[in-house]
Structure 1
Amino acid sequence: MSSQVPTLEEVALAAGVSRSTASRAINGGSRVSSEAQAAVDDAVARLGFVPNRAARSLVTRRTNSVALVVPEPDERFLNDPFFAATLRGMNSVLKNSDLQLVLLIAKLDESAGRIAQYLRNGHVDGAIVVSHHRKDDLEGAIEASRLPAVFVGRPFHPFPGLRFVDVDNVAGGRMATEHLLRRGCTRIAHIAGPADMTSGEDRLAGFEEAVRAAGLEPGPVVRGDFTTATGAAAMEQVLAEDPTIDGVFAASDLMASGALQTLAAHGRRVPDDVAVIGYDDLGVADDTVPALTTIANPVVRMARHATEELLVTLGALSPDTLVGGDGDAPPIIEEDGHFVLAPVLVERASS
């Protein structure tokens, strides 16, 4: 036997079939008799033939790649632990497949149009979309291209059949605020997320529900963009509007970290003067001073489940091999392709 890598022509010769028949048999068995398929399978095994992925893609029209779509600039991607957690969740599934991960990040001050065009042009077999904004309209691009996709986070413009995995952010916002109320806070401010992201809007809704259910009026609400700098600036604005606040719910741990810095600069003790709670529990909360009480956002689990759903759709993963439950973790509630996880309160020293 030749020491060189065997070719498709050699497989066809060994199997006694034409090159085109051998190619079809290797790439899925389309219009191939059972006898020819068996002969090709035997020749592949004997010769140690490995299909050329680029050539195979011309037959199957598959790229053997999936995209992680992040319509955010690279600076945000590199500095927010949300995205590292998303990659961990995806890689925990993809490591057992032969699919390549393609990362699509927006350029600074760029709309999502370039990303949408890339998806429409068929460069990937499927996509996981995270951190999407109302103006991106990636849902429209995916619907038009019919690209298999799963969103991590509730999309603004879902269409029939669009799947997403999310944490119950309304319940999480309510849970965070109720924790401050139980502690005795009566004047609670909220550092909210962006108005063009469903996570920001849902956490704000939970905050408002909890405060009003307690018979109180909400304290100042100032928006940030889930970064430390905007959390610090928002806290400055909150104190300027109402120096009597005794509780702060920040819609992300990074914004809560910034709020803690501002409170310390103003000589406000946490939690004695102002109790603070964040949202995410992706590592930041352990390193703040004091350690931050927060709502756990199960990003790794959401990304893993979204990737499993995508791979099942692509035929790259059997439904029988899904991970399913995660020990004592709350179950994933599914309805019409929408998968929702429950938030969990994690108490630390800041409240």
Structure 2
Amino acid sequence: MSSTRRQPTLDTVAAAAGVSRATVSRVINGSPKVSPEVKTTVDAAISRLGYVPNRAARSLATRRTDSVALVMREPDATVLADPYLGNMIIATSHTLMGTGVQLVLMNAQNDAEHARLADYVRGGHVDGVLLVSMHGDDPLPEILLGAGIPTVVGGRPQRLLPGLTYVDVDNLGGAVLATERLITIGRRRVATVAGPPDMTAGVDRLAAFQDTLSAAGLDPTRVARGAFTRESGERGMAEVLDRWPDTDAVFVASDLMAIGALRALRAAGRRVPEDVAVVGYDDIEMAKHTEPPLTTIHQPVVDQARIMAELLLTQIGGDPVGDPVVLPTVLVERESA
């Protein structure tokens, strides 16, 4: 008897789920005519059997779709306003120029859109996926790996999976540089407007900030939370000033938030850097043009996007999954600290 396992088919999935072949096809193609209960049952059968739709199997074998998806799990307004994501899109597109591979931009800002996106990708419409701006223990990487879709993540995922690689920046080292800069210029009452706790970048930057202050014998508890948006940075800075009015420095975990923080400081009549020194993170183009220009941490987003795309293309070409990559960060000194 041959030990070779036959690949499951539509009929196999239909039998396992107790539905018709046509219903399975509707689920795979994201039809709205399928009830949530039936979709859940069919998805479970697909996952359990390891079924890959024929179209996906053909595209993985022949690489004839000639397209990859850049997937961002953020609201549309965030994608449009965030220079980091904009630079990621541009740099990825430039990397793919001349390869014959087209870039498909996809966004999923809630669970329903996330499910439709998973169905689309699993249906074989693209050869591989780049995932960026992930929040929490996102199920999409495991779904993609289970379907045999080459996948590379931007930033360290919260849960590491066998066969999943990522390209991150040194968030810990960057936050250490930012915090040490504030200590070096003589600041002793240092606060932070931290990033979201469901993103590893936010977690790492906060942890390094607190560890660095503690090592210097300073209070590490002056923490407000933001969401990597300008508005949340303004709110976070206002919270810092309200709770700790004697604060003389702040590390803001993204430049967009730092721009909001500068606005809150101006509104409160605090001079930068005389009263409160400010260090951001990202080194976006706008950081050069704030008032005063923003001291910040440069993260190499162009290199990150390029390496992500290159790792994905090698996977699509049949090479083994590459090792994770962590890129260095550097302090960019300007006038705010």
Q: TM-score, normalised by structure 2?
A: 0.79
SS at match of 1:230: helix
What does residue 148 of structure 1 align with? Answer: 150
CA–CA separation in structure 2 for the residues paired with 1:148 and 1:58: 9
Q: Pick from 322, 339, 344: which aligns with 2:325?
A: 339
Instruction: Give the superposition deviation at 1:189.
Output: 0.6
| CA distance 1:217–1:228, shift in 2 (3 Å) | same
| CA distance 1:120–1:187, shift in 2 (3 Å) | same
Trace 1:93-104 onto structure 2 (pairs within 5 A): 93-104=95-106
CA–CA separation in structure 2 for the residues paired with 1:312 and 1:195: 33
Instruction: Give the superposition deviation at 1:229.
Output: 0.3
What does residue 118 of structure 1 align with? Answer: 120
Match of 2:265, as an amino acid?
A: L
Contact 1:139 1:158 in 2 (8 A): no
What does residue 247 of structure 1 align with? Answer: 249
What does residue 271 of structure 2 align with? Answer: 269
| CA distance 1:58–1:118, shift in 2 (3 Å) | closer
| CA distance 1:109–1:254, shift in 2 (3 Å) | farther
SS at match of 1:136: coil
CA–CA separation in structure 2 for the residues paired with 1:270 and 1:58: 55
CA–CA separation in structure 1 for the residues paired with 2:142 and 2:133: 16
What does residue 162 of structure 2 align with? Answer: 160
CA–CA separation in structure 1 for the residues paired with 2:278 and 2:109: 34
What RMSD over aligned residues (CA atoms) do the two structures have, in Å? 2.2
| CA distance 1:58–1:241, shift in 2 (3 Å) | closer
Contact 1:188 1:219 in 2 (8 A): no
5+ residue gaps in structure 2? Answer: 1-57
5+ residue gaps in structure 1? Answer: 1-55, 320-334
Q: TM-score, normalised by structure 1?
A: 0.76
Instruction: Give the superposition deviation at 1:96.
Output: 1.4
Q: Pick from 227, 230, 233: which aligns with 1:231?
A: 233
Contact 1:119 1:141 in 2 (8 A): no
Contact 1:137 1:157 in 2 (8 A): no
Match of 1:156, as an amino acid?
A: Q
Trace 1:57-68 onto structure 2 (pairs within 5 A): 60=62, 62-68=64-70
Contact 2:137 2:159 in 1 (8 A): no
Match of 1:297, as an amino acid?
A: Q
CA–CA separation in structure 2 for the residues paired with 1:59 and 1:299: 31
| CA distance 1:98–1:200, shift in 2 (3 Å) | same
Contact 1:187 1:219 in 2 (8 A): no
CA–CA separation in structure 1 for the residues paired with 2:70 and 2:59: 20
What does residue 305 of structure 1 align with? Answer: 307
Contact 2:59 2:127 in 1 (8 A): no
Trace 1:1-150 onto structure 2 (pairs within 5 A): 60=62, 62-107=64-109, 112-150=114-152
Confirm whether residue 185 of structure 1 aligns to residue 187 of structure 2. yes
SS at match of 1:205: helix
| CA distance 1:58–1:256, shift in 2 (3 Å) | closer
Count residues with an aligned counterpart. Answer: 280
CA–CA separation in structure 2 for the residues paired with 1:189 and 1:224: 13
Contact 2:295 2:333 in 1 (8 A): yes
| CA distance 1:270–1:219, shift in 2 (3 Å) | farther
